[in-house]
Structure 1
Amino acid sequence: MDASIGPGAESIRPHVFVYPLAVWVAMATIAVANGVLRETVLVPRVGEYTGHVASTAALVAAILLFSFAYFSWTPIDYTRAELLLIGIVWTAFTVGFEFVVGHVEGTPVSVTLGQYDVLAGQVWIAVPIALLVSPPLFGWYLSP
């Protein structure tokens, strides 16, 4: 069963999202490990801000590598609409996960939102941006 977004729109095939969800789980696992590494190794050695920037850069690199590898390997011929939706889902899951973990840890929403404040020197926004753009970027060029 395919779902169309509107008249003349590309159809969305729900079954093609299984593998991208597995890729997101792998990337989320790496993100958690990255956070542990940041807090236990980087921050004590280089400080909070430098650790934040280095950790974010490493995570963005991992996201781009995983996305590149997946779209190089997959035999699925994704439509542009599906690639856009994969990026949106990866981004929404990640931001949602971050807010849920923050809530469980007792972190105020204002603190979690503050991580997106580019004017305050925060670079975390690069992570959701990488998640949003990597499926369309690599999928359009690398899928069969």
Structure 2
Amino acid sequence: MRILRSLLVWLCFIPAAILNGGVRQYCLHPLLHQWALPVSGVLLSGLIILLTWLLLPRVGILNQKERYAIACLWTVLTITFELIFGTSTGQTFHELVSAYNPMTGNLWILVVLSTALSPVIIKKSI
């Protein structure tokens, strides 16, 4: 049941990501140009860790096995959501996969890693 309740925490990542995209487009890009994308990736990763730290303890006290299960669930949901959303907005599969290459300046892989690791490393109890 706690693993299912952790979905509510993951759902909070969606508006955070949308807000991050708006900040990147309207604030960071005009100021930082080519650095806006990596800075945005770091900001979103920080938001995910912060939201996990604030909200995951409300799910209940989790053992290590549950934390790993949540990490796997969140990772699969994040990648699935990104693929479905990306293809629905007209991005090609190649464009979506290229986002996982940090050499392009896109730190999406950092966001996925933050999503995967945050439930494991955040051990704050209620």
When normalised by structure 1's length, the TM-score is: 0.79
The answer for the alignment partner of 2:49 in structure 1 is 64
- Could you report, residue by residue, the CA deviation over 1:61-94 in whole angstroms, capped at 9, with x for unpaired residues? 11111111124x4362212111001111111111
The answer for the alignment partner of 1:4 in structure 2 is none
1:109 maps to which of 74, 85, 93: 93
Higher helix share: 2
Q: Percent identity?
A: 24
Structure 1 vs Structure 2 CA RMSD = 1.7
2:30 maps to which of 16, 37, 44: 44
**Tell me, which stretches of 5 or more residues in structure 2 are unaligned?**
none
Once the 2 structures are TM-superposed, how far is the Cα of residue 138 of structure 1 from its aligned partner?
0.9
Matches within 5 A, 1:21-36: 21-36=7-22
Number of residue pairs matched? 126
Answering whether residue 72 of structure 2 is matched by residue 88 of structure 1, we say yes
| Corresponding letter in the other structure for 1:42 | L
Runs (4+) of structure 1 moved beyond 6 Å?
none
CA distance in 2, matches of 1:95, 1:80: 23
| Corresponding letter in the other structure for 2:47 | A
When normalised by structure 2's length, the TM-score is: 0.89
Secondary structure at the residue paired with 1:143?
Answer: coil
Q: Answer whether contact 2:41 2:106 (CA < 8 A) is retained.
A: no
Once the 2 structures are TM-superposed, how far is the Cα of residue 120 of structure 1 from its aligned partner?
3.6
